[in-house]
Amino acid sequence: MGRGRPGARVGRPLAAAFRLGATYASLLLIGVPTLQAQTGGMDSAQPVDDVQELPLVVVLATGGTIASQYDPAVGALRPALTGAEIVAAVPGLEQVARVEVEEIANVGSKDMTPEIWRTLSLRANRLLADEAVAGVVVTHGTDTLEETAYFLDLTVTSRKPVVVVGSQRASSYFDSDGPRNMLNAVRVAVSAEAVGMGTLVVMNGQINAARDVTKTNTLDPETFRTLDFGALGVADMEAVRFYRAPTRRQTIPLREGDVLPRVEIVSQYAGADGRLIRLLLEDGRMEGLVIAGVGLGHVSRPAQDAIQEVRSQGIPVVLSTRVYTGRVVPLYASNIQLLEMGCVEADNLSPQKARVLLMLAMTRTSDPEELKPFFHR
């Protein structure tokens, strides 16, 4: 798949759809020419006459709300924009970087798959190995954005920035946040401070680490937050600034021939009897299991019995919690019994993040003792 430059200028309907968001994006540019760190030391006193002096960012487009518009014929949002159209609608982007676009997919992120994850990871690694490429931006729907971001954080080996971005408002809405988020994503992708930070999620002016960030609101533009520890930094009108660095990072590169295992998630709730766990076991396709426990990672007694059956067949089980913040901690006898069966604690990873990590860790081992270090790094 070759790299292609953004398409031609955007027509009137699309330009009108982006009007408010584009206006905000334009305001952000007030401080951009003075940001030496963001542009690889560009002299703020001189205009950029030669675009070849600007860093190159490649956008990998996958769809989502940022690529959607309202269709009155069906009364709902639908995929409508290419990555090139999204980029072309962001005013002033040409002052920050040279941008090339590749179309990877155009799906709502509810339909994101491990196969697309693999394609994104392999392509990002290949692009970042090119000295000419400063960073990669991935456009994505917000529903599963945090999972894709964490997968890339675990599998991209380059120290160059990878930024995942989306929007909560479609381009046809008067308050679309797509242009602002896109501009900020590119600003972060060319920031010297972002090097070595792993995959980052940039939304609503905040920079968050892929491992820790989660979607916290169904509609609010300020939805992606790191609840336990806070954002890494900000991308505001004046500058891109980092105030802390992620320390719980690791890399599990995809190797030729690696097959991602089928890992399921089962939630706990009042009255959970283990039936769903047994149904998955009887189905015969489950290769790994993540439990979204209650509290500290607790499960009901019937569920514990079902988990023991899973473990007796050598299937790895990871204990997470449906609680938004905090770690899984073995304070009660039932938790200790689960660990004695060979279950692995997810530390503070959400169930969906624990699933991503287990899928990749299982390309190396299925032994519980060997899996534990992956969840404690």
| Catalytic one of 39, 65, 142, 148 | 65
- Distance (Å, whole) CA 64 – CA 105: 10
Spatial contact of 195 and 136, defined as CB atoms under 8 Å apart: no
The number of C-alpha atoms within 13 Å of 232 and in the hemisphere containing its C-beta is: 23
Active-site residue, 82 included:
no
- Distance (Å, whole) CA 160 – CA 337: 43
Question: Counting beta carbons within 10 angstroms of the beta carbon of residue 189, is it exposed (0 to 12), middle (13 to 18) or buried (19 or more)?
Answer: buried
Q: What is the 3-state secondary structure (H, E, C) of the chain?
A: CCCECCCCCCCHHHHHHCHHHHHHHHHHCCCHHHCCHHHCCCCCCCCCCCHHHCCEEEEEECCCHHHEEEECCCCEEEECCCHHHHHHCCCCHHHCCEEEEEECCCCCHHHCCHHHHHHHHHHHHHHHCCCCEEEEEEECCCCCHHHHHHHHHHHCCCCCCEEEECCCCCCCCCCCCHHHHHHHHHHHHCCHHHCCCCEEEEECCEEEECCCCEECCCCCCCCEECCCCCCCEEECCCCEEECCCCCCCCCCCCCCCCCCCCEEEEECCCCCCCHHHHHHHHHCCCCEEEEEEECCCECCHHHHHHHHHHHHCCCCEEEEECCCCCCCCCCCHHHHHHHHCCCEECCCCCHHHHHHHHHHHCCCCCCHHHHHHHHCC
C-alpha angle with apex 286: 281 to 290, nearest 5 degrees? Answer: 95
Q: Tell me the catalytic residues.
A: 65
